[in-house]
Structure 1
């Protein structure tokens, strides 16, 4: 049976000839002639019964590709088109050096790179990974010294750029700073170690980070996003892949409540903050103001010393996972001015008690106790400036009347109990 030709790759090339092609089919064993139209191909090599490599002869237009062997000549309509294709031009290699063992990825940048059929490092072919009109990535072959890198396309062979094989030590990582961060990523992480020059990739687990700066002993990156978990961070350089270091993705903290929810505007009181993800707290804020101190009790609770402030504010906790935001619960804290008593009407009454006493003052809304000489009285708060108390029974004499709110004790005013 005569040879069968099923395809040719590439399907077009320079009219001047010399384009490397691969012919696929069957029945190629013993083939002696490959023609492009009426013209004989050169450098014909029968790779197997199903594949032949060759270089095109000069030609024009569209030429039928045929293979002739001991049993005849192929008849299938497989064509090669002669067209003026611009020669490839190389402008850059990245990196420009790598290990003698090869295997590292090299990016070749230039123009007219579409349809690359071969990339040579010296005389050694590289494995083509990706190919566009302006960029090719390859896996470098093994080699030594400095070699020329060139690309062959249907338009011809490019200029060459130097690539140096070096004995490069593998990178080593000694620390990450910080060693934890938010699940949303975006934070800057500094990697410290040795042999870090020429880093081509930094992985957080399986996700690449964006490399910002790179020296022999330090790399800074923008961490990618990741789920709340522990991942390994590694660096790849021309010398290989580093040891891994652990990085913790931390979920953002959540504040669901504060107790008490009121306190003096002078601050200084202890407030219990509850929520989740609080164990790694680095700061607690009452509105814009930083708490003067805090103690982590558990992942769900901490105590903070309230700073001075005014009005109602949101209490937030900051961890490596970020700063808590408004969500479920009640993270609000209200600052109160100290209560003040301006007058008592009347300011005297019966020792039997029961007299209704109007208390005029300020900051009375959150009054939680009224005492006459230390004896609790029943009371009602009518407004922030007005409360009414029922004087308890007391021995004749003058006693101090005082109010208390979450902001503390008021001043005192005298109340006189008349003898019976």
Structure 2
């Protein structure tokens, strides 16, 4: 009994031939040839009694009747349409940049992608690619050198012009974060220095995105810290990848619980012991807004020298990386005359 063909897939290909088609049907065991019109397939394989794969031969544009030849007779025919192969054109590469290590999934948009046999980035084959349609391909970038890489698509119609580019970005590197401590409430502007910082898409304090950031140059970013606690290393994310972390830690707001002594003369020189919490990162001690010299004895104690001033109360505060403490009152009194 002659074989029958129920489907052919794909049902069209270029006039240059070379399209692998799958014929499904019945009675295909023992087939002696597959013909496209009057021309034998370049090659064919009988996979089973219900399936043959065949490679289309070159042929003029138009419809060709595909048949299977068999000792019991020829099959019915199905139509395969030859089309003039179109030179592919790549118009958009998205995203247009990624790390030099490769592995970025990009979508190529253009025309003439049917039957694509290769996608290259600066001459290096894509790690993988899928032809989604005649106008779209998804490809995974190979590793490459930092800079612009020409993207090309090869089809039976030829190779696309070198007009589309993918930009390999060098990985970002961070050197410093200044200051490296800030209040747990956030809001501190931190200056980050390093290299390859252009086109940063995110700055993170630990796992939390910065409240805001600005790329100043390829070597500098300013970022505003979000609220947080404890150690929160900072990283920068660019098309080139994620940077190394640099240290940043959150400091709790300082408190003041006692001043000893809590009063003194209007003249300068009284050494006052300030007791409280979270004092280790003290940056300033002020009596009534006047900064004074001080020594950090521990996280709970500071000694400071009271400045001269008029008689009466003044507010004493401590400023640390965690902010400004609530104030305590220090009283200046007039010394009795003789």
TM-score, normalized by length of structure 2? Answer: 0.77
Rounded Cα–Cα distance in structure 2 between residues aligned with 1:350 and 1:216: 89
Q: Is the aligned partner of 1:299 residue 2:218? A: yes
Rounded Cα–Cα distance in structure 1 between residues aligned with 2:122 and 2:223: 36
The residue number in structure 1 matching 2:75 is none
For each residue in 1:207-245, what CA deviation from the matched residue of structure 2 results, as whole angstroms up to 9, or x when unmatched? 222114512222212111111121111222333322341
Asked if 2 retains the 8 angstrom alpha-carbon contact of 1:377 and 1:390, the reply is: yes
The residue number in structure 1 matching 2:298 is 383
The residue number in structure 1 matching 2:144 is 226
> 1:416 and 1:149, CA in 2 relative to 1: closer, same or farther beyond 3 A?
farther
Which shifted more, 271-280 or 167-176? 167-176
**Where do 5+ consecutive residues of structure 2 fail to align?**
1-7, 23-34, 44-54, 69-77
C-alpha displacement of 1:125 = 9.6
Structure ID, larger Rg = 1
Rounded Cα–Cα distance in structure 2 between residues aligned with 1:411 and 1:149: 92
The residue number in structure 1 matching 2:175 is 256
For each residue in 1:225-275, what CA deviation from the matched residue of structure 2 results, as whole angstroms up to 9, or x when unmatched? 111121111222333322341110111111111111111111112111111
Aligned residues: 302
Rounded Cα–Cα distance in structure 1 between residues aligned with 2:314 and 2:279: 21
C-alpha displacement of 1:392 = 2.0
Kindly report the root-mean-square deviation, in angstroms, between the aligned alpha carbons of the 2 structures. 3.4
Asked if 1 retains the 8 angstrom alpha-carbon contact of 2:114 and 2:131, the reply is: no
Asked if 1 retains the 8 angstrom alpha-carbon contact of 2:88 and 2:113, the reply is: yes
Rounded Cα–Cα distance in structure 2 between residues aligned with 1:367 and 1:285: 26
Secondary structure in 2 matching 1:313: coil
> 1:108 and 1:194, CA in 2 relative to 1: closer, same or farther beyond 3 A?
closer
Runs of 4+ displaced beyond 6 Å: 93-96, 124-127, 147-150
The residue number in structure 1 matching 2:204 is 285
Secondary structure in 2 matching 1:368: strand
The residue number in structure 1 matching 2:193 is 274
Whose RCO is larger (CA < 8 A, sep 6+)?
A: 2
> 1:242 and 1:140, CA in 2 relative to 1: closer, same or farther beyond 3 A?
farther
Q: Is the aligned partner of 1:143 residue 2:59? A: yes
For each residue in 1:135-189, what CA deviation from the matched residue of structure 2 results, as whole angstroms up to 9, or x when unmatched? xxxx986423548799xxxxxxxxxx99764223332222111001111111210
Aligned ranges 1:23-34 → 2 under 5 Å: none
Rounded Cα–Cα distance in structure 1 between residues aligned with 2:178 and 2:201: 20
**Pick from 236, 245, 255: which aligns with 1:340?**
255
C-alpha displacement of 1:349 = 1.2
Asked if 2 retains the 8 angstrom alpha-carbon contact of 1:95 and 1:198, the reply is: no
Q: Is the aligned partner of 1:353 residue 2:278? A: no
Q: Is the aligned partner of 1:200 residue 2:121? A: no
For each residue in 1:337-378, what CA deviation from the matched residue of structure 2 results, as whole angstroms up to 9, or x when unmatched? 221111111101122232221111111111011111222222
**Pick from 155, 175, 181: which aligns with 2:98?**
181
The residue number in structure 1 matching 2:283 is 368
